[in-house]
Chains A and B, each alone.
Chain A
Amino acid sequence: MMLAMLGNTVLMALREIRRNTLRSTLTTLGIVIGVGAVIALVTLGQGATDRVTNEISSMGVNMIIVSPGAMRRGGASVTAQPLLMADALAIEREIPVVMAAAPSAQRAQLVIYGSLNWNTVAVGVTDAYFRVRNLGVASGRSFSDAELQAGSTVCVLGATPKKELFGGEDPIGQTLRVGRVACEVIGVTEAKGRSTFGMDQDDYVLMPLVTYQRRIAGSVNLGSIAVSAVSEEATHKAKTQIEALMRERRRITPGKPDDFSVQDMREIVETLATVTNVLTALLGAVAAVSLLVGGIGIMNIMLVSVTERTREIGIRLAIGARGREVLMQFLVEAVVLCMLGGIVGMAVGLGGSYFAAQAMSLPFRVLPEIVAIAFGFSVIVGVLFGFFPALKASRLNPIEALRHE
């Protein structure tokens, strides 16, 4: 019987909500936006985290980056000795778990073809670069050993300069200028698209490292060495051994800090995942605040509703409703209103984040627990903010309520 009573109360609440469709809609908008925002932001945030992780993993989780100059927090960085080709060769030769070491150096350059020019980055590489970075050639070919050794003026274009300078034209065999150096285009790499942070990953011109050092940089210093370990499990071992080898080669006495840094991709993945998780949590918190604001809106309207329906409350009390039954009625009304808002918000949040994920080409990954929490929160908001107006309704004096105009 208690249950039947509750069923009746819910039906009454639904009827009341339908009676004031416009007002109910506006009232629940706050909840809809709150729940929708929480779900959408967290879902998108999760998608972004996933994508960063996948992106970096696709570069190879077994990749290790060696760069000159230790990463230091605060304080002056130790004056770094440069990285040299010999370091890359030593790493490849002396550490068995290393599959390949790809030395590279880069500098921003203006690339000119005909009347068009494009600001990009010239990167000096060896053939290992393609293997370590998982980089394929879409058309033409990669560098030959002869070209690499001789320092020939040939280049392989990234997808972006190819598009900007050649459009639909076939660039293979054409000659362009990288800074002051005339280069023949021998290939175009496969496009990787934009990174999660909006960085164009295809905006570069590759040339043999020797060519780069002689014709562009005028120095034999390397920017970094990308190393790939034989397997994911071997990454940590490789990293430790590279650190030991580098300290030895640079004659760093024990107890002194490294003047270079060795980072493995997993570390970077973890760091980035932490960053995006924090961002997700912050956005979620902001959205939760809007849910709270929505709750205040509910309370506001429920108070108005109680005043407006004072006479109705009087009638109900006169025909024998107890205070607690009137309280229940208004409380259920607020909760039902919030639940409806929560359901619509869920649909909006999931639908919105689905399309946003499509548009941003992020993976769409729903966290069921977040959806449940957001919905549960909207119900709690209904109970919390519906209680005071309902209490007010239940305490009305029936005589005065009946007299109310």
Chain B
Amino acid sequence: MSGDAPSGDPQSETALIELRGVTKVYGRGQSEVAALAGIDLSIAGGEFVAVMGASGSGKSTCMNMLGCLDTPSGGEYLFRGVDVARLSKDQQALLRRHFLGFVFQGFNLLGRTSALENVELPLIYRGVSSRERRQRALAALAEVGLAGREKHTPAELSGGQQQRVAIARAIVTDPMLLLADEPTGNLDSQRSVEIMRLLTELNRTRGITVVLVTHEPDMAGYASRTITFRDGKIERDERSQRDEPRA
């Protein structure tokens, strides 16, 4: 994966993520609700994609699908060419473990657990030795600008700092895909800008593909591509040629 990935051809072989006619239906019979009504989407490695849409538009369902937390009712989701629906639950967990990183709106850190231990957590499941775990977690925390706060628990950190810890936890495993679900939803505008810069930085320098769910156009402005959902379908798919995110 190259650092500054160009917006690729949607049908290219190098697509990291490919959705083909994906549908998701909740409930049965009369109470059937289609959260996703046929999505075709391709995201190449190294892209920074913002997903927008009103609540109930299907963007969260799509996000869960991309994160292998949910499986499609119809269609195919290919991650690096592998059909995720055919994988067992355990294999999906392993796929998350080795290729994905999550950042949530509510931070979702373990309470009463130090920043360092929070960041080490995914490495524990990867079976990394405690020594290497520590080194990598320290490096990840330094990368998000939290050197010196390793021993702090979430309660002792500000919202912006907590989100940085969460980002450090997501990137400590060198994921291919970082899924950020409204990461700035709980933060003031100053912190939001800092978090977005950090994500942009990670996208550029480390070539991590970022998919960002947001309902704030300002935040979407940092992405090189914006996908807008409406009623379970993709309404718009726009690419911006902006190289430098606006401050």
- Interface of A with B (CB < 8 Å)? 1, 4-5, 8, 12, 15, 19, 311-312, 314-325, 398-399, 402
| A324 engages B102 (CB within 8 Å) | no
Q: A314-B108, A315-B108, A315-B110 are in contact. Are A320 and B127 (CB under 8 A)?
A: no
Number of interface residues, chain B, beta carbon within 8 A: 29
| A321 engages B70 (CB within 8 Å) | no
| A323 engages B89 (CB within 8 Å) | yes
**Which B74-101 residues have C-beta < 8 A from chain A?**
89-90, 93-94, 96-98, 100-101
Q: A4-B129, A319-B96 are in contact. Are A311 and B89 (CB under 8 A)?
A: no
The 8 Å CB contact of B122, one of A4, A12, A319, A398, is A319
Q: A316-B121, A399-B64 are in contact. Are A321 and B93 (CB under 8 A)?
A: yes
| B127 engages A311 (CB within 8 Å) | no
| B64 engages A319 (CB within 8 Å) | no
| B127 engages A318 (CB within 8 Å) | no
Which of A315, A316, A317 has the largest count of B CB atoms less than 10 A from its CB? A315
Q: Does B67 reach chain A (CB closer than 8 Å)?
A: yes
| A320 engages B104 (CB within 8 Å) | no
Q: Which residues of B contact A319 (CB under 8 A)?
A: 96-97, 101-102, 121-122, 125, 169
| B125 engages A321 (CB within 8 Å) | yes
Q: Can you list 30 A-B contacts (CB < 8 A)?
A: A4-B127, A5-B127, A8-B124, A8-B130, A12-B124, A19-B112, A311-B108, A312-B110, A315-B121, A316-B121, A316-B125, A317-B69, A318-B108, A319-B101, A319-B169, A320-B93, A320-B94, A320-B97, A320-B100, A320-B125, A320-B126, A322-B89, A322-B93, A322-B94, A323-B89, A323-B90, A323-B93, A325-B125, A399-B70, A402-B108
Report the Cα distance A325→B102, complex, angstroms.
19
| A324 engages B90 (CB within 8 Å) | yes
Report the Cα distance A323→B125, complex, angstroms.
12
| B64 engages A320 (CB within 8 Å) | no
Report the Cα distance A8→B121, complex, angstroms.
10
Q: Which residues of A contact B126 (CB under 8 A)?
A: 320
Report the Cα distance A8→B124, complex, angstroms.
8
Q: Which residues of A contact B104 (CB under 8 A)?
A: 402
